[in-house]
């Protein structure tokens, strides 16, 4: 168990550092290019690792270190994409569609609710940010 936790911690630190660096070098574009690269790249890497680990018996700490740690630290989109493919291939297409809609729609709704709550708390504390007309 401790090997797994240490592997996840190291992988997470690496993935998060890569994500941070990629965001820094793409900030000047004005578009979330770094995020797009992270999400698509992380999805590709996690899909590859998942397929690879199914075929190749590996140590558990390596699986969780690269999957949960590195890919999880680099992006959360990779898990959404990988789970969607798994649901589509191993269960039914409609379950995959529902999962995607709930994940994306729920994520957008949570972001909206969090944004609204953040503005309310900020206003109570005297923060004067962007005003809605």
Domain ranges (residues) in the chain: 2-75, 91-126
pLDDT confidence of residue 57: 66
**How much is the pLDDT for 87?**
86
Measure the N-to-C terminal CA separation of the chain; round to a whole number of Å. 53
Would you state the pLDDT for residue 132?
A: 45
Nearest to 6 by CA among 76, 78, 64, 67: 64
72 labelled as ligand-binding?
Answer: yes
The reported pLDDT for the residue numbered 39 is 81
16 in a labelled binding site = no
Rounded to the nearest angstrom, the gap between the alpha carbon of residue 21 and the centroid of all alpha carbons in its chain is: 16
Report residue 44 as tokens. 């590709």
pLDDT tens profile 44-91: 888 888 888 777 767 899 999 999 999 889 987 777 788 888 889 988
The model's pLDDT over 98-111, given as tens digits with 9 standing for 90+, comes to: 988 988 888 889 88
What pLDDT, on a 0 to 100 scale, did the predictor assign at position 127? 54
With a cut of 60, say whether residue 128 has pLDDT above it: no
């Amino acid at each position: 168990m401790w090997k797994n936790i240490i592997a996840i911690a190291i992988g997470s630190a690496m993935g998060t550092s890569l994500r941070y660096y990629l965001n820094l070098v793409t900030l000047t574009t004005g578009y979330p290019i770094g995020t797009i690269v992270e999400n698509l790249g992380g999805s590709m890497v996690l899909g590859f690792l998942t397929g690879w680990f199914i075929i190749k018996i590996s140590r558990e700490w390596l699986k969780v270190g690269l999957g949960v740690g590195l890919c999880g630290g680099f992006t959360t989109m990779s898990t959404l994409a990988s789970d969607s493919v798994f649901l589509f291939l191993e269960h039914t297409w409609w379950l995959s569609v529902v999962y995607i809609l709930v994940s994306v729609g729920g994520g957008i709704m949570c972001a909206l609710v969090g944004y609204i709550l953040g503005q309310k708390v900020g206003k109570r504390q005297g923060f004067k940010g962007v005003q809605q007309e």
